[in-house]
Amino acid sequence: MILMFTDFGHRASYMGQMEAVLRRAAPTTPVVTLTAHAPAFDARRSAYLLAAEAQIARPGDVVLAVVDPGVGSERRPLAIDADGVWYVAPDNGLTALVAKRARKLVVHEIDWRPERLSASFHGRDLFAPVAARLAQGDSAATLREVPTSTIGDGWPDELDEVICVDDYGNAMTGRRALTLGPDAMLEAAGAGVPLRRLRTFADDARAVGFWYENAIGLVEISVREASAAERFRLDIGSPVRPLLPT
């Protein structure tokens, strides 16, 4: 399948236009939106979310990832083969964590250009057609293998910041929960006291707030049946700090 990951939102037609290109060019391939609400204009924080969200992909799938504030500039368009999953994206750091965590990595620059290439919508005009081709096994005339070094190579393995706030007010961070033990506490702006680790929302019986391992493996700050973002004044970029037991 083709999995779309963008910061486009749904107010305008961007997602629909890109999906239309995919369905016309690869009509037998399922197209799924992972998210249209990645951190806007923010390839760095989006990279940590992409690496977590895209764990659902399987070899042969294509992840079409477009968070591209530099669209139309000289930044390279890439197609990355990470453990058999293709990632089609700009070289602005968006695929940095995917590449860093891959066991087998091959990086290609996209040489192909369409007859009409909008200066402001490469997601539709360049990345979507290439993703459709890759989904159908056609890449020979499209890609050129390049060294694996890409923007974001030096970014930390874990990002101790809020990278996403969902509609419930849960605040997702860029740190994988597997890096913290069961007794680790988390310090977050506005929380007042360190937050302990719980397994489920139901365990937060007094609705005071906690952190847990969310469904894609990231550390997430929550309050039972309330907004952690509002209660603790959390937003994209808010710092968090793990406090390891002594």
159-243 has CATH 3.40.50.800 classification: no
Average pLDDT by stretches of 10, the chain with 246 residues: 97 96 97 97 98 97 97 95 98 97 96 95 97 88 88 95 96 97 91 91 94 98 96 95 80
**Residues recorded for the chain:** 246
Q: What is the pLDDT of residue 37?
A: 96
- 10 Å CB burial of residue 172 (0-12, 13-18, 19+) is buried
So where are the chain's domains?
A: 2-146, 159-243
Specify the DSSP class assigned to residue 125: I
Q: What is the pLDDT of residue 138?
A: 84
Residue with tokens 């290109």: 21
pTM, rounded to two decimals = 0.95
Q: What is the pLDDT of residue 142?
A: 82
Q: What is the pLDDT of residue 246?
A: 52
Q: What is the pLDDT of residue 139?
A: 74
123 contact partners, CB below 8 Å, separation of at least 6: 6, 8, 14, 18, 64, 66, 68, 71
Q: What is the pLDDT of residue 244?
A: 78
In CATH terms, the fold of domain 2-146 is: Rossmann fold (3.40.50)
Q: Copy the structure tokens of residue 92.
A: 């602005």
